[in-house]
Every structure is written in structure tokens, then in C-alpha cells.
Amino acid sequence: MPGNGITARNPEAIKAHNLQFQWPSGQLVLQGCSLTVKPGEFCMLLGNNGSGKSTLLKILGGLLRPQAGEWSIEEPVGFVFQNPDHQLVMPTVGADVAFGLVNEHLSLAEIRNRVDDALEAINLLELKRRPIYALSGGQKQRVAIAGAIATRCHVLLLDEPTALLDPDSQIDLVKRVRDLVKERGLTALWVTHRLVELDYCDRAFLLEAGRVLDEGEPERLKQRLQS
């Protein structure tokens, strides 16, 4: 479990306090990074390249461990990578969504129900038997999200999930995640550098030089970065 003994329930679904992360090369990525996300919030994490956004997300998702600081996250956690080809491992849509359920000791009927429910939630149920290679980039990202939903995750961590998508697919994906947060009571933290995506979140954080420089209303942060 990511973290160091902090129990993550209400009032915070995600909490990071004074995180510090340094690569073996000596490059300091996070220095005193702190933030809190409440249950049911859809928050976005902004910042220039090298500001520490992806590193922070990977720490919260248990993929990296910092040298200092405290953190907690409400489990289960679903992680969506920038490139879905690094995440989708099975030949068909339905098989890939079911892949994360293998170790949950579920009946075949329960697995089928979870897969169908997750695919219906992201409007891809009709593509259940479609080969992964035949999907568009946006559809692949939806399948990755469906895999997380099938595990009944409480928190979604999304690392620039629209980076490789065309503009229409970008907006379509962010709207779907926003709706999932509201419909299913999820908490989501979404890394982005696209200001237009701020129109769909509840709150935003601005990272600079490895720490949260500002946070609050998305429109205010948008105006700050546009000025």
C-alpha cells in the first residue's frame, strides 16, 4: 500500500504532505510538495514539463517512493497512463478489462457482470469483442479507465490521458471522466497541461519547481496562466 501508515478515509481521499523526491542522478523533482483532494472531487494538476506532476502522481499510485514526506490515498486506486499501449495487455477489449480481476477470486459470472458494467459506463459495451489493435487512441484510453472501474476503484489517477489524442477525443474523454466522478462517487486527479480541460474539473493545483504554488478555482488558475 502506498504511504507510510496514514489511514485514508474521510475527509481526504488523497493527501500528500511535504513530499520530496530525488532521482539517483541527484535531480530534485519534488521539494516540499503538499496537496489534499476530498472524496468525490475531480481535480487537475497543472505545471510545466519538469514541474513534478507525473512524479507526484506515480508516488500517489505506489509506483515511486519519495525520500521524505507523508502521503495517503483511498484504495482501491486505478492508474491511467499517458500512452494506453503501455497499459493494455490482452487481445480484446473485454479480456483486457477482465485482466485486472484475475486475482480477486470472483466467479466467471461476477467477472462478466463487472466487465459489462465498466464498459457500459464508458460507452464501449458494443466493442467488448473488438481487438485492441482496432481501437482509436480515445477508445483505448476508455478501455484503460474501464479496467480501473471494474476493480471498483475509489480513486482514479490519470497521467496526461489526452496527450496523444485529437482535440475532439480530448474533450470527449475529460467529459466522460467528469461524469464518472459524479455518477459513481469517484475521486479523480488528472495531470494536464491543456488549459481548456480546466473547464471540466472542480479544483486545480499548479505545480512549479516541485511544489504546489497555487490551488483553487479552475477559472482563476486559468486566468493566472493566461495573463
> For the domain that residue 23 is a member of, what is the CATH number?
3.40.50.300
Q: From its phi and psi, is residue 185 left (phi > 0), alpha (psi between -120 and 50) or beta?
A: left
Return d(Cα 214, Cα 75) in angstroms, integer.
27
Q: Give residue 66's domain range.
A: 10-75+154-227
Number of domains into which the chain is organized: 2
Grade residue 145 by pLDDT with cuts at 50, 70 and 90. Answer: very high
227 and 159 in one domain?
Answer: yes
Q: Is 3 within a domain? A: no
pLDDT at residue 5 above 50?
no
In a domain, 4, yes or no: no
Report how far residue 72's alpha carbon sits from residue 1's, in angstroms, rounded to the nearest whole number.
9
Backbone region of residue 212 per phi and psi (left: phi > 0; alpha: psi in -120 to 50; beta: other values): beta
Which of these, 183, 182, 106, 109, lies nearest to 151 by C-alpha position? Answer: 106
Task: Give the model confidence (pLDDT) of 49-77 as tens digits.
Answer: 889 999 999 999 999 999 999 999 999 99
Flag whether 127 is in a domain. yes
The C-alpha cell 483553487 sits at: 216
pLDDT at 10: 62
Tell me the pLDDT tens digit for each residue of 163-195.
Answer: 989 988 899 999 999 999 999 999 999 999 889
Q: How far is CA 34 from the centre of its chain?
A: 18
The model carries a pTM of 0.91
pLDDT for the residue 1? 38
